[in-house]
Amino acid sequence: MSKGADRTLKAGTNEMELVDFRIYKQMNDRVYEGIYGVNVAKVREIIKIPKLTELPGSPEYIEGIFDLRGVVIPVVNLAKWMGIKTPEDDHKKSRVIIAEFSRILVGFIVSEARRIRRISWADIEPATFSAGEGALDRSKVTGVTKIENDDVLLILDFESIVKDLGLYHPTLEVDTELETFEGMAMVVDDSVTARKIVKETLEKMGLRVIEAVDGQEALDKLGELYENHGSRLPQELKIIVSDVEMPRMDGFHFAANAKDDPRFKSIPIVFNSSISDQLSGSRGRDAGGEGYLVKFDANMFVPEIARVIKSHIKN
């Protein structure tokens, strides 16, 4: 399976495709099935467990590393990391999901990769609970959705897991003097960490930042801003920086709605996502975005934001 498996999705449909995978949990004489998902756009491929080279001194849940066509990839046993005891014969259907985000490749061992599901973001609720399975808590779950038989599928935040493993250090550290602007900016992201990082950088660029946790809240806040500023809003709100993956309404659907509204259509939108496949950049343009950035690279983020704002001011 390739990371381009969601190429049939159109920008602005507010849908995503998930790889449905399972982790089986042994408790006494019973086996329980955990149902999880990860965005297809972040999945490079799914393979059988390869021959791994152990890393001395690494945590137990790091099974080792292997070479995938010239790229050395660490492999995480997701069940071990979550503190789950799996059945003895769990290896029979076990697979490694090779995930890519922010241009980082990591393998995750799961009990079984089941299928691909197409789900509307409107049917995905934010995680508001503690899952209570070892290391898995609500900060590692980006959303939940019901599937057949009233089962619940948890969408895992692989970036947060990898960050905890010390393999990913999100930051927007800027060494040079920043170009500054006057006015407002909006940051749309369901991640508290991501909003904080982007907000601090935009504030250093002189902008007053308004935050929204998903596309629906962003549209609501744009409406409120228009009530306050009227037709001058496009002059006051210099840029919108939006994530792509968000419960209720994703970034592409939000952008398509904003660009279809004459009140907001001239306000530039730059996507800022951990999805680093080529397809997402073109989908962002189809949705009306003026740019697409991969989290978090200050050398790319700051010049691109400045470019888009200056173009907006000129026009």
Q: Please list the residues that pair with 72 across neighbouring strands.
A: 67
Task: State the Rg of the chain over Cα.
Answer: 21
Residue 132: what pLDDT? 45
User: Superfamily for 184-314?
Assistant: Response regulator (3.40.50.2300)
CA 308, distance to chain mean position in Å, is: 23
Q: How far apart are CA 223 and CA 226, in angstroms?
A: 5
Task: Answer yes or no: are the C-beta atoms of 80 and 135 closer than 8 Å.
Answer: no
What does the pLDDT average to over 229-234?
96
Ranges 36-40, 214-218, 222-226, 228-232: which has the least confidence:
36-40
Residue 45: what pLDDT? 94
Q: How far apart are CA 34 and CA 24, in angstroms?
A: 6
Task: Answer yes or no: are the C-beta atoms of 156 and 37 closer than 8 Å.
Answer: yes
**CATH of region 15-164:** 2.40.50.180
The helix or strand, by DSSP H or E, that contains position 48, with its residue range, turns out to be none
Domain extents for the chain?
15-164, 184-314
Indicate whether 90 pLDDT > 80: no
Per residue in 43-61, pLDDT tens? Answer: 999 999 999 999 888 888 8
Indicate whether 193 pLDDT > 70: yes
Of the two residues 198 and 140, the one the predictor is more confident about is: 198
Ranges 75-84, 166-175, 258-267, 303-312: which has the least confidence:
166-175
Of 114, 101, 103, 92, whose CA–CA distance to 46 is shortest? 114
Q: How far apart are CA 216 and CA 39, in angstroms?
A: 20
Per residue in 22-41, pLDDT tens? Answer: 999 998 889 999 999 998 88
Task: Answer yes or no: are the C-beta atoms of 17 and 40 closer than 8 Å.
Answer: yes
In the three-class reduction of DSSP (H, G, I as helix; E, B as strand; rest coil), residue 63 is classed as strand
Q: pLDDT band at 134, cuts 50/70/90?
A: very low
Of 100, 50, 111, 128, whose CA–CA distance to 77 is shortest? 111
Distances (CA, A) of 315 to 238, 267, 268, 310: 12, 11, 11, 9
